[in-house]
Amino acid sequence: MKSIFLVLAFSTGFLVSKAQGMEEMWDKSASGKEHPNIQWFKDAKFGMFIHWGLYSKLAGVWSGKNYYGSGEWIMNQARIPVKDYQKIAASFNPVKFNAGEWAQLAKDAGVKYMVITAKHHEGFSMFDSKVTDFDIVDATPYKKDPMKALSEATRSLGIQFGFYYSQFQDWYEPNGGKNTWDFDESKKDYQLYYQKKAIPQLKELLTNYGPLGIVWFDTPGGMSKEQTQQFINELRQLQPNSLFSSRVGQGLGDYKDFGDSEVPPVPIKGAWESVYTHNDSWGYITHDMNFKSTAEIIRLLANVASKGGNLMLNVGPDGEGNIPYYSVKYLRETGAWLQKNGESIYATTAGFVPEQPWGFTTSKPGKLFLHVVNRPAYDLVLVPGFKNNVLKVYSLTDKKNLSFEKKGTDLLVRMKGVKNEQSPNTVLVVEYSGTEPAYNETAPVTIAAAFETNYINAAFAKTTGAAKIQPLTYSHYYGDWKHTTCVTGMQNPADGATFSVRIIDQGDYKLILEYACPESRSRQEGILEVNGQPFLFRTLRTSEFDRKAPLLFIKHPVAILHVEKPGIYTMTVKPAKTGAELMKLKSIIAEPVQ
C-alpha cells in the first residue's frame, strides 16, 4: 500500500488551486539546496528509461495466463513464489542484446541521459554482483554483465548513464520489502536487508561502472529520515557528483520526480523530471501495443519542457534483448525532430507565457520559443502578456522572418508561409530585449475562434466553498497510472469552480462540460454561469472513481454562448441545489460555431 501513497503524495504536493498559493507549489525553497552537479540534468530535458529484468522474459504471461498493466510487477500480480520465479533465470539468455545498438538508439533519439534497472522489485540483479548469486552472471546461461558494456557504450556517445535501483522492495529476499506471499512482512528485518544487500550492491554499482549521472531510487521504505541521510552519505562518498532521485525518500533527493506518468499543469521551480511509459507498461509485455506515437512524444516533451522539467521516457526490451519495434521507430522519429528543433528544448527553462490553444512556450535568455502544436486558422498566433520589446520573430528550422505586431501586451505573429514540415510541432522564435518576465499565474485562459476546440482545464479554476482542485490517479489495468486534474466537492450552490477566460473573437461558441459522474449521483441539476448568465443542465452518468479502473469522462454540451464583445469573461460551474457531489469536472471546452 505504501507505494500508492507515494504516487498520491507526489501528486498532491503541487496541485493546489491558485487561490491556495503558487509559492508553496513552486517550492522555491528546493533551489537553495541544489546539488552542485545539477546543471547538466536541468539542461538535458530528455532521458531514456529502460526496464529490463526477468519479467522481460515472461512478457506478461505466467502459467498460460496473460497479465496486463505493469509487466515488471508480474511476480507480485501472479503471486509467484520465489522458488518458481528464480527458475526463470535458467532460461534468461538475451543473446540479441547489443550495447552499441542500444546506445546508438539513445543517441538517435536525442536523449541526454539513460537510466536502466540494475535491480527492480523482483530482486534479480542485472549486473555482476558479489553480494548474491541471483544475478545475470551467476544465474543465467548468458553469463555476461550487460551493464558493463552498456555503461561504456552510452558514455562513449556523450550520454550520461545511470542506474535504477529498488532500494527497499525486494521480493526475492526474506527481509526485503513487500513480498507478502512468501514471507511475513511483520517479521522482516529491513535493516538487515539494507546492510546485507542494498547498500553493498549500490556500492558495487557506484564503484564498477564509471561515473554515474544518476542513481534512480524508487518506492522508499523501512528507513527513518536519519537512516536515509546516513544511507545517502555513505553512498555519496563513492561518487559525490552522482544525482540521487527524490524517491530515495524523506525529501532528501537531489531533484524531484513526479508520480509515474504525470506532468504538472503549471511550471515548477527547481530540477524535476516526469517519467512515462511508452506503452502501458515499464517492463516488456508482448500484448501491450498501446505505444504513444511520435507526435504524442514530441508534444509531451514540449509540454514537460514548458513547465521546466525533463521527460524520461521508458522502453522495455524483451527477454532476448530486442527493443520493441515501435519504440525504436518512434524514438528515432522524435530524434529526427530534435535534430532540427533541439534548440527549443535542450537547456531551456519554463516558458513565461502559459499554455495557449496553439501550444506551449519554453525560454532561453532573450528568446521565447512558441511550440505551435495546433496551428491556428488564418495562421495568426496570439501571444498574450508580452510586455517586452520584440526584436524579431522567425520560424526555427528555416529561419524565415515573420511579420508581427504588438497591440498593447498582445503579440500577434503571422506564420503564413511557414511550411508544415516540422509538424506535429512547428517552433517559432521570438527574440526580445529586456529581462525575462515572470510567469503570469493569474493570466486568463485564452479562447479563440481560430481553434476547433479550446480547453479550459480544471487546474486553472478558482474554487469557492467546499469545491477543490484535485489530482485523480487511477490505472486502467495494474500500475499503469493515469492522472487527471478535476474540480471535485461541489455539493451546494456555494461550491463553485470559476474560470477567468479571455475570448478573443466575436461570435457563437458551444460550451461543453467534460466530467465524470457515477450513476448514483447523476440527474442532478447544475448551472454554468457566464458573466452572470445562467445555462442549466442535468448531469449524465459516466463512472464511479476507482483507482483500479478507467475514469470515464463525458463531453456534455450545455450552452451556446453569443459573444458580442471580445474580452474577459467569468465562467462558473456549480450545483443548482444542495445534493451529492455534482461531478468531477475535468474541463470546459469551447467550440466556435459557424
For residues 257 and 10, the answer to whether their CB atoms sit within 8 Å is yes
| Coil, strand or helix at 327 | helix
Q: Which is nearer to ligand H79, 219 or 290 (CB)?
A: 219
CB of 479 to ligand H79, least distance (A): 4
Backbone φ, ψ for residue 185 (5° rounding): -55, -35
- Binding ligand H79 by CB under 6 A: which of 173, 260, 262, 514? 260
- Binding ligand H79 by CB under 6 A: which of 108, 135, 173, 218? 218
Q: Which is nearer to ligand H79, 55 or 337 (CB)?
A: 55
Residues in 101-130 at the binding interface with ligand H79, rule: CB under 6 A? none
Q: Which is nearer to ligand H79, 275 or 429 (CB)?
A: 275
Residues 305 and 347: their CA atoms lie apart, in Å, by 9
Residues 499 and 376: their CA atoms lie apart, in Å, by 23
Q: Which is nearer to ligand H79, 265 or 316 (CB)?
A: 316
The alpha carbon of 490 is separated from its chain's Cα centroid by a whole number of angstroms, namely: 28
Q: Which is nearer to ligand H79, 85 or 460 (CB)?
A: 85
CB of 4 to ligand H79, least distance (A): 5
| Alpha-carbon radius of gyration of the chain | 25
| Burial class, 430, CB count within 10 angstroms (exposed 0-12 / middle 13-18 / buried 19+) | buried
Backbone φ, ψ for residue 310 (5° rounding): -105, 150
CB of 201 to ligand H79, least distance (A): 17
CB of 171 to ligand H79, least distance (A): 11
Residues 140 and 124: their CA atoms lie apart, in Å, by 11
* Stretch of 59-67, 70-78, 354-362, 514-522 contacting ligand H79, by CB under 6 A: 70-78
CB of 332 to ligand H79, least distance (A): 23
Q: What cell was used for 448?
A: 479563440
CB of 565 to ligand H79, least distance (A): 50
- Give the other-Cβ count within 10 Å of 312's Cβ: 25
| Coil, strand or helix at 290 | coil
- Binding ligand H79 by CB under 6 A: which of 41, 47, 67, 72? 72
CB of 58 to ligand H79, least distance (A): 14
Provide the mask over 6-45, with x wherever binding to ligand H79 is found by CB under 6 A and - wherever it is not. Answer: -x--------------------------------------
Q: Which is nearer to ligand H79, 218 or 254 (CB)?
A: 218
Residues 294 and 315: their CA atoms lie apart, in Å, by 14
Residues in 478-537 at the binding interface with ligand H79, rule: CB under 6 A? 478-479
Q: Is 275 in the site for ligand H79 (CB under 6 A)?
A: yes
Q: Which is nearer to ligand H79, 44 or 559 (CB)?
A: 44
Instruction: Please list the alpha-helical segments (H only) found in 110-145.
Output: 136-139
Residues in 469-488 at the binding interface with ligand H79, rule: CB under 6 A? 478-479
Alpha carbon separation from 386 to 139, 269, 358, 363, 379 (Å, rounded): 61, 21, 16, 13, 19
Residues 1 and 473: their CA atoms lie apart, in Å, by 14
Q: Is 253 in the site for ligand H79 (CB under 6 A)?
A: no
Q: How many residues bind ligand H79 (CB under 6 A)?
A: 13
Q: Is 4 in the site for ligand H79 (CB under 6 A)?
A: yes
Q: Report which of 23, 50, 45 is spatially closest to residue 317, judged by C-alpha positions.
A: 50
CB of 70 to ligand H79, least distance (A): 5
* Stretch of 65-73, 304-312, 444-452, 514-522 contacting ligand H79, by CB under 6 A: 65-73
For residues 313 and 327, the answer to whether their CB atoms sit within 8 Å is no
CB of 218 to ligand H79, least distance (A): 5
CB of 456 to ligand H79, least distance (A): 31
Q: Is 73 in the site for ligand H79 (CB under 6 A)?
A: yes
Backbone φ, ψ for residue 109 (5° rounding): -75, -15
| Coil, strand or helix at 196 | helix
Q: What cell was used for 328?
A: 525504436
Q: Which is nearer to ligand H79, 129 or 179 (CB)?
A: 179
CB of 546 to ligand H79, least distance (A): 13
- Binding ligand H79 by CB under 6 A: which of 37, 219, 374, 570? 219
Residues in 305-334 at the binding interface with ligand H79, rule: CB under 6 A? none
- Binding ligand H79 by CB under 6 A: which of 70, 160, 294, 395? 70
- List the strands of the sheet with 256-257, edge to edge: 243-244, 214-217, 160-165, 113-119, 46-50, 310-315, 272-276, 256-257
Residues 361 and 203: their CA atoms lie apart, in Å, by 41
C-beta pairs of 144-149 under 8 Å, 24+ apart in sequence = 146/94, 146/97, 146/99, 146/321, 147/116, 147/118, 147/209, 148/208, 148/209, 149/99
Q: Which is nearer to ligand H79, 219 or 440 (CB)?
A: 219
Q: Which is nearer to ligand H79, 247 or 468 (CB)?
A: 247
Show Cβ contacts of residue 479 under 8 Å, excluding neighbours closer than 6 positions.
69, 70, 73, 260
Q: Which is nearer to ligand H79, 276 or 553 (CB)?
A: 276
Q: Which is nearer to ligand H79, 77 or 129 (CB)?
A: 77
Q: What cell was used for 401?
A: 522572418
Q: Is 47 in the site for ligand H79 (CB under 6 A)?
A: no
CB of 314 to ligand H79, least distance (A): 7
Q: Is 282 in the site for ligand H79 (CB under 6 A)?
A: yes
Q: Is 170 in the site for ligand H79 (CB under 6 A)?
A: no
Show Cβ contacts of residue 1 under 8 Å, excluding neighbours closer than 6 positions.
none
Q: Which is nearer to ligand H79, 284 or 460 (CB)?
A: 284
Q: Which is nearer to ligand H79, 119 or 574 (CB)?
A: 119
* Stretch of 2-10, 357-365, 419-427, 458-466 contacting ligand H79, by CB under 6 A: 2-10
CB of 77 to ligand H79, least distance (A): 7
Residues 394 and 378: their CA atoms lie apart, in Å, by 17
CB of 457 to ligand H79, least distance (A): 25
Q: Given the rule CB under 6 A, which residues bind ligand H79?
A: 3-4, 7, 70, 72-73, 218-219, 260, 275, 282, 478-479
